[in-house]
Amino acid sequence: MNYNYSVKNRVAIIGAGKVGTAVGYLLRSAGYEIIALADSSASSLENSLPYTGGRPYKNPSEAAKEANIILITTPDDEISHVCTILSNEGAISQGKIVLHMSGAGGLDLLESARREGASVACIHPIQSFSDINGAIENLPCSTFGITAKHEMIEWAENFVKDLGGYPFLVSEQDKPLYHAAACMASNYLTTLIHIVENIYTSFGLKSEEAIRAFWPLVRGTLKNIERSGTVQALTGPIARGDIGTVKKHLSAFNSNLPELLRVYKELGILTIDLAVKKGTLSAERAEAIKRLLEGGSDHE
C-alpha cells in the first residue's frame, strides 16, 4: 500500500464511547482531522464532541461518507453489522481504510468493507478504560495488537505510533487467546482484588479501609513484577514451602468463607509451579502442598 505518512487524513469515528472519543482526541492532537462522529445516542455525541471535534451524525453512513479513514468503535457484537450497513449504503469504497478496535474479533468483521475495495485492519489497545479522561491518559505508551494483511501492516504500525502506542502483530488465529489473556490481566485481576476486599470486610473493615490496608501490598507486588518478572516477584508461604501456613489458610476458609475455598485452592495449585520455577520450593514440598490443595482436607 502506498501511503504518505506526512499527510494526516479525514477520520470518521463510528461509535462515540470512551475508546472512540479518546482515540479521536489523540488523533486530533496528532494532526488528523476528525471530520465526523456518529452515534445513535445524542448524549454520547454531546459528551464526545468537545474532545474530538467534527460534525455529529446519528446516521453512521452519512458520517463515513465524509472520511477516508473510518474507525468503528462500537461494541464488538455490532461491528460487523455496522460495517455491512456502511458498505450497503455506499459509505465505503476503494481507497478508504476501515479499522475496528476489538480484542477478540478478527478481520472477518470487516469483510463487507474489504469486498467494496477498502483496506482493513484491527488495532486493539492492551489497556483498560473506565472513563474518557482515563482512556486519554492511558492509551499513550500502551501496546496495541495489530491484525492486518501484509500490505496494511506498515500503515497500521504508524497509525498506532501516532496514538503514542507500541505496535505488535497478532495473527487471526491467536486473537481469541490474546484477548483472553488481556481479560485475565485486567478483568480477572479486578475480580481477584474484589475477593480480597470482601475477605477483609468480612471481619469488620469498611470497603475503603480494606482497600487502604492491602493496596500498598498490591502496588508493591506490581512494581516487583515490572522490575523483576513474575517468577522472581513471587513471595509468600507456597514460595517458602510453608505447609503449616497453607493448612491454616484452608481451615480458615473452610470455617468462615467456604465459597472462596475453591478459588484459593486453584490459585495455590498454579502458584506451586511458579515457586518451583523460582527455585525456592523443593519438589518434595511442592508435591506435599499440591496433595493438600487437591485433597480437600485441611487437616492432613
In-domain check, residue 108: yes
pLDDT at 235 over 60: yes
Classify residue 4: in a domain, yes or no: no
- Same domain (yes/no): 27, 98: yes
Asked if residue 122 and residue 79 are part of one domain, the reply reads yes
The boundaries of the domain holding residue 120 are: 10-170
- What are the start-end ranges of the H helices in the chain? 18-29, 42-52, 60-65, 79-88, 111-115, 132-138, 150-162, 175-183, 189-202, 207-228, 230-233, 237-240, 243-256, 261-278, 283-295
**Residue 104: CATH number of its domain:** 3.40.50.720
28 and 129, same structural domain? yes
Neighbour count for residue 259 (Cβ, 10 Å): 8
Q: How far apart are CA 61 and CA 87, in angstroms?
A: 8
Q: Are residues 149 and 205 in the same domain?
A: no
pLDDT mean over 263-277: 97
Whether residue 118 sits in one domain with residue 255? no
Average pLDDT for the chain: 93
Co-location of 159 and 189 in the same domain? no
- pLDDT single digits (tens) 94-140: 999 999 999 999 999 999 999 999 999 999 999 988 899 999 999 99
Among 170, 202, 219, the domain-final residue is: 170
Check whether residue 121 and residue 188 sit in a common domain. no
137 lies in some domain = yes
Q: Which residue's entry shows cell 473493615?
A: 205
Mean pLDDT of 137-165: 95
Q: What CA–CA distances, in Å, run from 97 to 12, 71, 217, 280?
A: 10, 8, 46, 53
| pLDDT number for residue 177 | 94
In a domain, 2, yes or no: no
State residue 8's pLDDT score: 57
Is 256 within the bounds of a domain? yes
Residues 63 and 208 in one domain: no
Residue 109 in contact with residue 87, Cβ under 8 Å? no
Strand, helix or coil for residue 273: helix
Overall number of domains in the chain: 2
- Per-residue pLDDT tens for 36-90? 999 999 999 999 999 999 999 999 999 999 899 999 999 999 999 999 999 999 9
Clarify whether residues 116 and 186 are in a common domain. Answer: no
Please give the share of the chain, as a percent, with pLDDT higher than 90. 93
Q: Which residues contact 153 (CB under 8 A, 6 or more apart)?
A: 146, 169
